[in-house]
Amino acid sequence: MLLTGSMLRLIRLLSCLTLVLFLQVCYAKKDSKTSCYTCKQITENFNKGFERTAKQNFGGGNTAWEERTLSKYETSEIRLMEIIEDLCDSSSFDCNHMLEEHEDKFETWWFKKKTKHPDLHKWFCIESIKVCCPKGTFGPDCNACVGGSENPCHGNGQCDGTRGGTGKCSCDNGYKGEFCLDCRDGYFNEVRNETFSLCTECHSSCKTCSGATNQDCDECKEGWEEDDQEAYVDECSKDPSPCNEDQFCINTDGSYSCKTCDRVCSGCTGAGADKCKACASGYQEAEGSCTDIDECSQSESVCTKEHQECVNTKGSYVCICLPGYEEKDDECVQIPQPGELIDRKFKVC
C-alpha cells in the first residue's frame, strides 16, 4: 500500500499527540508527588517570614506613635507582601508556579481566615488547594493509612501518605510485610497481637531465631554451626534410651557411651549403689542406697536340711554342711573318721 502525503502528515500528527499525552501523564504524576512538598516549603517559609517581620518597623522605642504604626503594620498588606516576596527561591519553578497560581489565597487567609484557621499549612495545602493530606492519610480522598491515621503502619514504618501517596508502608528496620507486623530474618517477635508487634534482634550467631539467646537459633548464621554439645545431650535423653536396661548413659565429646550399672541395681541413672532405679534381687533399699539382704538372719530359716548352716553372700546366700559333715546325695552326712576306715579295712582283710 502506498502512503499518500496527507496520510503521512496524519500519522505525524497522531505521534505528536501521543507524545504530548504521555508527557502530561508523567508531569501529573510528578506533580502529585512533589506539590505537597512544595506547598509545605511555602507555608514553612511563610511562618519564617511572619516571625522575621514581627519586629520590623519597630524602632525599639516605645512612643505612642510607634505603637500605633506597629499595630497597623502587623495586619497590613505591606507586611503580607514582604512575606510573600521571600517565599520562593527564584530558581524554583515549582514554588513560583504554585505561588502565582494561588497568590489570592494568601490574601484571603491573611485578611479573613487567619484568626479562625491559624494553621496555614492545614488551611492552604490540605483544605484549599488539596495537595497534601493530614498525617497518617493518603490518596485523593485522604484515606487512613494501614494501621489507622493515629498509628500508621502500626508504629513500625512510614506510610506513603499525602494526596499522591499509595498508602503503602515502608517498614522500619527489623519489620516487614504489608502491615509491618512481621519480623525480618534475624529478628523475632517478642510481643505480637493483631495491632501491635515488637521485633527484637536475634543473637549474633543466628540467621533466624525464636528468642534472644544463641540457644534460640532456628538456623545458624553463615560461619556458625550448631554446637555438638546440644546434640549429645539429646542423645542420652532420647526415649528409648540408647543404652541397655542395666546400663547408664553418659555424654562424651560429640557422642555418648553406656556404662554398666552397679550390681546392686536393677537399672540405674548413674554409677554407684545410690543411683539405682530399683534394687537387684537380694538387695533392699536402705537410706537411699541398695544394700545386701542377710537371708541367714531372717526369722524363717532358709537352709532347712539337717546339719546345714547358712552363709550370707553379696546378693544371696549358700547352705553348706556343718564342720565334720559333707554333702552326699543332697544330704549332709558325717565324714568317716580315719580310725573307722582302718577298722573296716581290718575287717575286710
Ligand X SMILES: *[C@@H]1O[C@H](CO)[C@@H](O)[C@H](O)[C@H]1NC(C)=O
Going by the DSSP 8-state scheme, the letter that residue 204 receives in this structure is T
DSSP state of 21: H
Measured CA distances, 38 to 74, 97, 147, 231 (Å): 26, 10, 27, 62
Q: Which residues of 87-103 are buried (b: 16+ CB within 10 A; e: fewer)?
A: bbeeeeebbbebbeebe
Judged by beta carbon, residue 130 or residue 192, the one nearer ligand X is: 192
C-alpha cell at position 191: 510481643
Q: Which residues bind ligand X (CB under 6 A)?
A: 191, 193-196
Least distance (Å) between residue 192 CB and ligand X? 8
Rounded to 5 degrees, what angle do the CA atoms 8, 13, 19 make?
130
Question: Whose Cβ is closer to ligand X: residue 211's or residue 267's?
Answer: 211
What is the closest distance, in whole angstroms, from the C-beta atom of residue 134 to ligand X in the complex? Answer: 24
As measured in angstroms, the least distance from the Cβ of 191 to ligand X is 5
Between CA 111 and CA 339 the distance in angstroms is 153
In terms of CB distance, is 189 or 255 closer to ligand X? 189
- 193 vs 204 by CB, closer to ligand X: 193
Contacts of 301 (CB under 8 A, 6+ apart): 310
Q: Which is nearer to ligand X, 24 or 189 (CB)?
A: 189
**Beta carbon of residue 156, minimum distance to ligand X (angstroms, whole number):** 13
Report in angstroms how near the CB of residue 198 gets to ligand X at its nearest: 8
